[in-house]
Structure 1
């Protein structure tokens, strides 16, 4: 084997004409994936459900193999496409006709915040860090939980927020980064504080360290009462 054999480096043992075949394979794979998305009825792919993501990854893997490997024939990829499309149609039909199957495959909308407080039963089952969740709130213009009347995590993982009117905003837990939201087990000054776990507010005398009456957490942060910037 010669060092710096550029033909081996670029094409291995394939002839230059194989690039034309690769171009045709890429075109076929592109058309297959595009047609699948069109036939499946999706108008866009900004947010995919878990099931749809599995389908796309499976199809993409098959399309990728036929694109790069000359020993992978095209016809089996078309069969993969047809079988996946059939499974997709059957599953979406089942989801539309069975609430249990819909919950199993797509999950449920999760109620995370009600009237400025976390829903305790929803907290433990979430696969999302507090920092990530707070970041999403900040990007939506939220400074503290007291500005939020209702927060829902949709089936696609997106956050839907419904706000209090300015006159109804209440004190709440700050969603600012830790350097702007110090937390205390023993509060330094008398004032209104918010539980860092559930958002419950409580008037606390300086030097005290009471547990949260709602969730028994013992970490507090100064509550904010600012209105949302319009």
Structure 2
């Protein structure tokens, strides 16, 4: 083998004209995936359910193979497309007629915040870290849980938030990063503190230690009461 063989490095064993075939194959793969998205009626990836994402990844894998490998013919990829489309249509039709099947395939929206408090049963079953969860809240303009009347995690992973009106807002647990949020097991001064696990707030006196009556956690953070900026 010759070092720095540009023919081997750039084209391998295929002729230069094969680049034109790759362009045609890539165009074919693009059209197949694009048509599937159009036929399925979705406007973007953020709207894809888990089932639809699996279908797209399967189709994308087949489309990727046909784009680069000269021994992969086009018609089998077209058959993959037809099969996935039929499977998708059949699954959607079944979900329309069976609520139980629909819930199993796509899941249900999950209430994660209610009246400024975490819904612990929901959070315990979600595969999401507190840092990631706080980031999602901050990106929607939330500074503390007392601003949120209701928070719902949708089946597509988006978070829907409904806020208290300013007069009804209450003190709540800060969702700011650690460098902007102090945590104590023995509070340094009197004030209103929030449980770092569930968001429960209560007044505490200087030097007090306490277990949260809601979740038994013993770590507290000063509750914030700032109004939400729109």
TM-score bin, normalised by smaller chain: over 0.9
Alignment partner of 1:48 is 2:51 = no
Aligned-residue CA RMSD (Å)? 1.0
Q: Determine helix, strand or coil for the equivalent of 1:183.
A: coil
Contact in 1 for aligned 2:174/2:224 (Cα 8 Å): yes
Name the residue aligned to 2:147: 147
Per-residue CA deviations over 1:70-114 (Å, capped at 9, x if unaligned) read 011111100100000011001111111111111111011000111
Q: Determine helix, strand or coil for the equivalent of 2:70.
A: coil
Q: Determine helix, strand or coil for the equivalent of 2:111.
A: strand
Q: Determine helix, strand or coil for the equivalent of 2:47.
A: coil
Contact in 1 for aligned 2:46/2:156 (Cα 8 Å): no
TM-score, scaled to structure 1: 0.97
Unaligned runs of 5+ in 1: none
Contact in 1 for aligned 2:42/2:48 (Cα 8 Å): no
Name the residue aligned to 2:175: 175
Map 1:59-98 → 2, pairs under 5 A: 59-98=59-98
- Please report how far the alpha carbon of residue 18 of structure 1 lies from its aligned counterpart in structure 2 after TM superposition: 1.0
Query: Using the alignment, how far apart are the partners of 2:184 and 2:25 within structure 1?
Result: 62
Per-residue CA deviations over 1:150-200 (Å, capped at 9, x if unaligned) read 000011110101000000110111111111111111111111110001111
Query: Using the alignment, how far apart are the partners of 1:184 and 1:58 within structure 2?
Result: 49
Query: Using the alignment, how far apart are the partners of 2:5 and 2:144 within structure 1?
Result: 63
Query: Using the alignment, how far apart are the partners of 2:177 and 2:12 within structure 1?
Result: 53
Unaligned runs of 5+ in 2: none
Map 1:170-209 → 2, pairs under 5 A: 170-209=170-209
Name the residue aligned to 1:12: 12
Name the residue aligned to 1:25: 25
Which 4+ stretches in 1 moved above 6 angstroms?
none
Query: Using the alignment, how far apart are the partners of 1:91 and 1:43 within structure 2?
Result: 19
Contact in 1 for aligned 2:48/2:156 (Cα 8 Å): yes
Name the residue aligned to 2:103: 103
Contact in 1 for aligned 2:145/2:173 (Cα 8 Å): yes
Per-residue CA deviations over 1:39-74 (Å, capped at 9, x if unaligned) read 112233333211111011100000110110001111
- Please report how far the alpha carbon of residue 19 of structure 1 lies from its aligned counterpart in structure 2 after TM superposition: 1.1
